[in-house]
Structure 1
């Protein structure tokens, strides 16, 4: 794998982790969203990563991408609160199924993966610069 391929792989990882961070931010922003029905309640979303192959004949890896962002199947939290303006006819409100602690852990993981990709790009750049300096 050439150093230019390292830059390509790291670049795709940066894009994928950026989408992951945006998805986590959206989940955290909607963690306390309230709805009057289970169908309308916000459900957390998670990105699905897939490998991108550059050449199908020799399976050379070209990076990673987000193939889709899926909505989780977990049920929203149902809470009895008849005085709430969004309560249904039975007095229940529905909160999103976002687990704020899990989302914070996911955010830390995505942030560190992003930082690792930046470091890989910096290292590849330094090696390329040193290679150019050898030729002088």
Structure 2
């Protein structure tokens, strides 16, 4: 029972980090920089299964392309001499899909923790009644 709580807790941690990175990506998807600067780099959580019953853990963050995408916007204050600016290369539909998956994973792991806690409390009640 304690393994279930520990494993689900590790899943909660990784899914929270995933939610944080997706929300960061979504919040910065429209950041504009000049063409002589790097674009905002999307963040992607790298997760790895632990040994035995240790659950999962985030092993790092991978970053998207600093080149981003160059867009012609001659009226933008950051535009270069040719009228180009740089945006992050973030696909909103991909990020929204990631957001749904991370949210569902978080919800499932939270439900496992709740069920394990309820089971533990029921076992304690059985022990008290005898």
TM-score using structure 2 length: 0.90
| Separation (CA, whole Å) in 2 of partners of 1:125 and 1:83 | 58
Unpaired segments of 5 or more residues in structure 2? Answer: none
1:113 partnered with 2:105: yes
Shift of 1:44: 1.1
| Residue of 32, 46, 52 corresponding to 1:48 | 46
| Residue of 47, 70, 74 corresponding to 1:82 | 74
Q: Which residue does the alignment assign to 1:57?
A: none
Q: What is the 5 A alignment of 1:97-108?
A: 97-108=89-100
More strand by share: 1
Secondary structure of 2:122's aligned partner? helix
Q: Which residue does the alignment assign to 1:20?
A: 18
Q: Superposition RMSD on alpha carbons, in Å?
A: 1.5
Shift of 1:127: 1.3
Contact 2:8 2:110 in 1 (8 A): yes
Contact 1:45 1:71 in 2 (8 A): yes
| Separation (CA, whole Å) in 1 of partners of 2:15 and 2:35 | 32
TM-score using structure 1 length: 0.87
Contact 1:35 1:93 in 2 (8 A): yes
Shift of 1:73: 3.3
Aligned residues: 128
